[in-house]
A and B are shown apart, each in its own frame.
Chain A
Amino acid sequence: MMRLTNKAIAASVGTLLLGSVSAVVQADILDQSLGNFIGATDSYRITCQSSPDGAIGQTDHLNFKIIDTTPSNDGSSPLLLNIHVKKGSNRTGFVTHDETEVTPGTQREFEVAGGKGTYKIAIDTLGTTDTSKTTKHTFSVETRCLNDNGEFTKPAVAKIKTRTVKNGKKANLTAVCGKNKLTGETSKLYVKFANTTADPSRVVLNAQVLKDNSATNVTDGNGDDVYSDASNLKGGNGDYTVLVNSTAYASQQDNARDYTIEYQCENSANVDTGTADIVQVQDQ
């Protein structure tokens, strides 16, 4: 349901306080919400025209971005992975490194200074609140054996392994590092661990901007105060279509999204033509 339309006055106030006499930037802002059902899509028509100010001229592109403003504490169940790297023995002692609670779509990088030999790598799902034993997590582990200068030793290239692990299970990998004739002995193992699990409980907002035969897409996830990247679809004057939808998949959870869109028609120098006129075409 459409709730509010206003102007980004803050931006123009900031400009005025700085004493600027250049064109005031006034992006149009619209607060809206997307319904709970799977596939819900809101649709808008934003019309851009030439500025009445001849110096600004015609619209070159539509500047558009979106932010998911849904409160983040939505009870979602994270699919967490933990990685533990260990090198050594009871006789020589251990060097270890742990990275915990790695969420889907994120990654961690670290180094373990264990010298040459075999590094044991274990990945588990401890902390995951999804209790299904059939839920699968996917991940990738990139390892590099390096000398003190950060140069490859043996093997002389990065090794990337991808695996799947079920809830409550553990995956074990190894990385074996040796001596390189040119770069010398291994001093450390570099590890880049990525949780590549697709988390259906994580609903992400997508928005598409269409005009004539061109289209672009922007994405914003929930939980921060940062807008998506701005799209700048070059379509000149005329009607742009904007679609807003989400990746919602699980019907048993609350998929409703609150969002704010910010848009303005800009000329080729990125100056607001001040002509953006929005009409909601579909409200789901």
Chain B
Amino acid sequence: MQIGIVWLCQASGVLAHDQSGSLGAQASATDYYELECFDDGNGSPEHLFFEVRGDTRNTAVQVSGQVVNGSQAASATDHTSGDSSYSPQLKVVHEGDNDVYRMVIDKNGPGVAQYSLQYHCETGNGVHTGTSDLKFLQVQ
């Protein structure tokens, strides 16, 4: 069910939220984003859907992403960079009424790493709801 929703969003080109980026050569390179979920008429947000994909081919470096909301955090890693598959999907349920999420993108070795994100806010029933633009906190 979760996968079906995601594919529908991708096909529509309207509901899905994508972000491409590039982590620099330093092994510690880290990108840092913030977004907010809100009720756009589709219902109150309950969680953030998130997945990340490494897009650089022929590298052993793996791209990971973490989602932080209040005191909770979750992590996902795309184990093979350069293929069409994303990391396992994260569904981070908001803590109380805190609908501000921060996303950290990093990698486990040196070398430039291209990546793509898929993310959007959903209601408790898995309906896409208001998702703000990304705020770029740090780009490395």
Contacts and interface: CB of A to CB of B under 8 A. Distances in A.
Interface of A: 38-41, 43, 104-105, 138-140, 162, 195-200, 204, 206, 208, 210, 213-219, 229, 231, 241, 243, 245-249, 281-282
A241 B77 contact: no
Contact of A229 (B27, B62, B71, B80): B27
Q: A-B pairs with the 7 shortest C-beta distances?
A: A217-B106, A245-B75, A249-B79, A213-B137, A105-B60, A215-B32, A247-B77
Given A210-B32, A246-B77, A247-B62, 6 more contacts: A38-B88, A198-B60, A198-B81, A210-B68, A243-B66, A245-B75
Given A140-B58, A229-B28, A43 B71 contact: yes
Interface in B96-136: 102, 104, 106-109
Contacts of A229: 27-28
A200 B83 CA distance: 14
A39 B50 CA distance: 12
A243 B73 contact: yes
B15 interface: no
B104 A208 contact: yes
A206 B109 CA distance: 10
B76 interface: yes
Nearest to B90: A39
A249 B79 CA distance: 7
A231 B32 CA distance: 16
B73 A247 contact: no
B59 interface: yes
Interface in B20-69: 27-30, 32, 57-60, 62, 64, 66, 68
Interface residues of B, number: 33
Contacts of A204: 62, 108
A190 to B, nearest CB: 20
Contacts of A200: 79-80
Most buried by B among A41, A217, A243: A217
A259 B57 CA distance: 30
A138 B30 contact: no
B71 A218 contact: no
B75 A39 contact: yes
Contacts of B73: 41, 43, 243, 282
Contacts of A245: 64, 66, 75
B28 A247 contact: no
Nearest to A242: B73
Nearest to A208: B104
Nearest to A160: B58
Given A162-B58, A210-B104, A217-B106, A41 B32 contact: no
Contacts of B32: 210, 213-215
B72 A282 contact: yes
Nearest to A38: B88
A219 B30 contact: no
A189 to B, nearest CB: 22
Given A39-B88, A39-B90, A196-B58, A219 B104 contact: no
Given A39-B76, A41-B75, A215-B104, A138 B66 contact: no
